[in-house]
Structure 1
Amino acid sequence: MKMFVSAAAAALLIALPAAAHNHGDKPAAEKADKAEYAKATADIVDTAAAAGSFTTLLAAAEAAGLVDALKGDGPLTVFAPTDEAFEKLPEGTVASLLLPENQDQLAGILKLHVIAGKVKSKDLAGQQIEAETLNGTVSIDGTDGVTVNGAKVISADIKASNGIIHVIDTVLLPAG
């Protein structure tokens, strides 16, 4: 758990457009953004649970021992595959990954879905970038909607008290 949080702190953030500064004061847009997230009272895990379409993801996070990290301070950006996304995996894959002996492999897969810091869809619009997750690099294409390693973002910018969730239609898997 602590290793996950340490990895989150050490992970590189996506380079976002620099904000203009008004004589040392934070820009109005940045203040509004912080106020917007301050209104979100549920963390990433509770927000996903309330949505009702992430039961497999949440079960996987529990099996991988990552729930506490996803409930932590953040900020984190999570590319969250739906239950339907998990159903696209070959039969038996999810059941196998949930076995205790596969906890490290499962954690690796889930960490590929997490970026340290908040990344909004507007920051990705029109760009093709490589982003560091907690378990490697993903390719994000924001030139026609947003995709992450080919997975389509089907709902973006869901606010949580400790970050942001982008819903994706496919589970991201490590290369190799």
Structure 2
Amino acid sequence: MSLSTVFKTTALAAAATLCLGGAIAQATPSPASHTATHDRHARTIVAVAAGDSRFSTLVAAVQAAGLVNTLNGSGPFTVFAPVNEAFDALPQGAVEGLLQPRQRDRLVQILTYHVVAGRISAADLATAVRVGNGRATLTTVEGGELVVTAAGRGRLRLTDAAGDHFDIVVADVAASNGVIHAIDGVLMPH
């Protein structure tokens, strides 16, 4: 079975688990004033990510790390979520290794390095960069720092502790307990 098949199977299982809870909630009659937009915003970061095929590898990693309940919490959180292609760009065997139970602590460290406390929009990040004379520093839940800079054409770039640079490719994916910004790389803490 290929790695991509494993991730897709795990992600589908995660989505089914998360959606089952949502199906029970949706089976309860709701006032007519509830719209599809409200339903989208009522979903947590994990539910939003599980419902988006671009994040299937991330969802599998969050499950393996035991962080589903944390990221389903009240937050709010800002998650810089690597897209599947970002994980594919890691050295061969890196993702498989991190998903092993003996690597759980390292996986938790890496994933929590992608999370910042609070709901920070792309506009907030751009303002912080502008006010900070071209850069803003964020402290992650893991305790490390990320540097945000402008990347031209209105894009924002993150620099991790390893000095690698990754761009926000999709900003402001709303969730009930925060916001997701899709990025094109996997951030690495110290």
Same-fold call, TM > 0.5?
A: yes
Larger C-alpha radius of gyration, 1 or 2? Answer: 2
Counterpart contact for 1:98–1:106, Cα < 8 Å: yes
- Return 91-100 or 48-57, whichever deviates more: 48-57
Letter in 2 for 1:105: R
1:150-165 to 2 correspondences below 5 Å: 150-165=165-180
1:7 match: none
1:27-176 to 2 correspondences below 5 Å: 40-125=41-126, 127=129, 128-135=135-142, 136-142=144-150, 144=152, 145-149=155-159, 150-175=165-190
Distance 1:70 1:37, change over 3 A: farther
How far apart, in 2, do the equivalents of 1:163 and 1:99 lie?
28
Identity of aligned residues (%): 42
Structure with more helix by fraction? 2
Partner deviation per Cα, 1:100-153 (whole Å, 9 max, x = no partner): 000000000000100000111101215111110011111111363111111100
How far apart, in 1, do the equivalents of 2:68 and 2:88 lie?
21
Superposition TM-score, scaled by structure 2 size? 0.70
Superposition TM-score, scaled by structure 1 size? 0.76
How far apart, in 2, do the equivalents of 1:174 and 1:39 lie?
31
3-state secondary structure, aligned to 2:50: helix
Distance 1:39 1:61, change over 3 A: closer
How far apart, in 1, do the equivalents of 2:38 and 2:67 lie?
22
How far apart, in 2, do the equivalents of 1:84 and 1:64 lie?
20
1:6 match: none
Q: What's the CA shift for 1:50? A: 1.0
Counterpart contact for 1:130–1:138, Cα < 8 Å: yes
How far apart, in 2, do the equivalents of 1:80 and 1:65 lie?
17
How far apart, in 1, do the equivalents of 2:89 and 2:139 lie?
25
Q: What's the CA shift for 1:174? A: 1.3
Aligned CA-pair RMSD: 1.6
Distance 1:53 1:143, change over 3 A: closer
The higher relative CO (CA closer than 8 Å, separation ≥ 6) is in: 1
Distance 1:39 1:48, change over 3 A: closer
3-state secondary structure, aligned to 2:109: helix
3-state secondary structure, aligned to 1:146: strand
3-state secondary structure, aligned to 1:56: helix
Counterpart contact for 1:48–1:54, Cα < 8 Å: yes
How far apart, in 1, do the equivalents of 2:86 and 2:157 lie?
14
Size of the aligned set, in residue pairs, is: 140
Over 6 Å off, 4+ runs:
36-39
Structure 2: gaps (5+ residues): 1-36, 130-134, 160-164
Q: What's the CA shift for 1:39? A: 6.6
